[in-house]
Structure 1
C-alpha cells in the first residue's frame, strides 16, 4: 500500500518539522515526528536499528515495543506514509522530503565543473536541520549538513573568483564564513575579491576581523599567504607574524574561519 492512494505527503525538516498533504498541514505528535524524521534521514532501516536510535536508553525489547506502538500510530493517522517490509521500515518513495532536495543541491555543487545555480545555493544560507532538536542522530546530521554547506559555498566562491566575478565570489565567501568563522581559505577569497574590486578598506576590515578573532579564539596568527596578500595590497611589509595592520570593524564580515581544508 502506497501513499499514492492517499495523496502525496510533503515533509519539511529544514527550519522546522512540518508534514503536509494536499496543501494542508497535518498535526503529528512529537513521538511520531521523531520516527518519521529518522526514516527520512536514514532511509530504509532495520527496526532494531531505528528502535535503538530513537530509544537508546531503553533495553532492546522495550525500545522495540515503543517502536511498534509508534509505527501503529503513524500508520493509523497517516496511511500510506510508512512502508513495512518485514524487519525493514521506510517512508514511501513518493514522500517529498526537503532534506533530500538540499542534499542533492549540495552534492551537485561539489562536483568538478558543477553547474548548480548560485541562486539555489544562496537559498541554503540560513537553513538549519531541525533546530532545537538535540538527540545524537540529529546533531550528527546538523554537523554533516554544516560541513557540506561550508564546502559548497567555499567551492562556489573559488569558482566565481576564477571567472572574474569578484562580487559574487565575495558573497559566497561571506556565506562560508557565516558557517565557519575561522575558515581561512574563505577569508583569502573575500580579501582578494575586495582588492580586485578596488575595495582596499573592505579587504582590510575583513582581514583585521579575522586576525583578531583568530588570535582570541585560537591564539595563533593568519598564514603567511594571507598576510602577504594584504600587505602587498597596502604596500606595508609585515614586521612579525603577529603584525597588526589597520584596525577596523567590519559590517560585512561578522564571522570568519581557519580550517583550511574541508
Structure 2
C-alpha cells in the first residue's frame, strides 16, 4: 500500500491532473485518452453510417497488434482476448461488406487479417474463398480451403462444415 501511495504522490506531482483521487476510488482524469478504449470504440463503429473514420483508417487501426505482448497476468490475457474478438468481428464485417460491394482486394485483406487473429475461424475462411473466387483465382481459393481443412484436422480433429465443403466442391464442379 505504501508503494501505491508513493507512486500516486510522484505521478500527481510530476503530471498534475493525470489522476483523480476520490477517496476510495483512484482513476485517470477524463482528459486522458486511452488508446485501447479508442480502438474498441472505432472497431465497433466500423462500417456504421456516419462513422468518424473511413473504413481504410479503421482497417489501419485494427491492424494494431496484440495488447501488451509478453504480459501473462490473468487480467491482461482477458483483455487481450476481448480486444482480439472486437477486432475479429470488425474484420469480418468489413470483409463481408467489401465482398458485397465488389471491393474484392479489400475483402481479401480484411479476411486475411481476420484469419491472422483466428486461423480456424470458418466464416473468415469462407469470406476469403468467396473473395478469391470473385477475383477469378480458383487455384488460390482451393489452396485456402485445403490448408484450412488440414489445419482443422490437425488442431481439432474435425472436418469443415458442409457449407464450406460445398463451396470447395463447387470450385471443382466449375472446372472447364
Establish whether TM, by shorter chain, passes 0.5: yes
Deviation at 1:231, TM superposition (A): 1.1
Secondary structure of the residue aligned to 1:96 is: coil
CA deviation string 1:54-93 (max 9, x = no partner): xxxxxxxxxx444223212221232221111222211111
Larger strand fraction of residues:
1
Matched, 1:67 2:4: yes
Question: Is the 8 Å Cα contact of residues 156 and 172 (structure 1) preserved in structure 2?
Answer: yes
Q: Structure 1 residues 155, 121: CA separation in 2 closer, same or farther (over 3 Å shift)?
A: same
Matched, 1:191 2:129: yes
Deviation at 1:122, TM superposition (A): 2.3
Question: Is the 8 Å Cα contact of residues 142 and 171 (structure 2) preserved in structure 1?
Answer: no
Partner of 1:205: 143
Partner of 1:218: 156
Partner of 2:81: 143
| Aligned equivalents of 1:69, 1:132: Cα separation in 2 | 27
Q: Give TM-score, length-normalised by structure 2.
A: 0.89
| Aligned equivalents of 1:126, 1:92: Cα separation in 2 | 25
Residue 109 (structure 1) aligned to one of 19, 43, 46: 46
Higher-RCO chain (CA-CA 8 Å, sequence separation at least 6)? 1
Q: Structure 1 residues 78, 122: CA separation in 2 closer, same or farther (over 3 Å shift)?
A: same
Partner of 1:79: 16
Matched, 1:232 2:145: no
Partner of 1:172: 110
Larger helix fraction of residues:
2
CA deviation string 1:217-243 (max 9, x = no partner): 00001111111111112218xxxxxxx
5+ residue gaps, structure 1: 1-63, 237-262
How many residue pairs match? The answer is 172
| Aligned equivalents of 2:54, 2:101: Cα separation in 1 | 14
Q: Structure 1 residues 97, 126: CA separation in 2 closer, same or farther (over 3 Å shift)?
A: closer
| Aligned equivalents of 1:165, 1:173: Cα separation in 2 | 12
Partner of 1:26: none
Partner of 1:3: none
Would you identify which runs of 4 or more consecutive aligned residues in structure 1 move more than 6 Å?
A: none
5+ residue gaps, structure 2: none
Question: Is the 8 Å Cα contact of residues 110 and 151 (structure 1) preserved in structure 2?
Answer: no
| Aligned equivalents of 2:55, 2:144: Cα separation in 1 | 23
Q: Structure 1 residues 114, 169: CA separation in 2 closer, same or farther (over 3 Å shift)?
A: farther
CA deviation string 1:30-71 (max 9, x = no partner): xxxxxxxxxxxxxxxxxxxxxxxxxxxxxxxxxx44422321
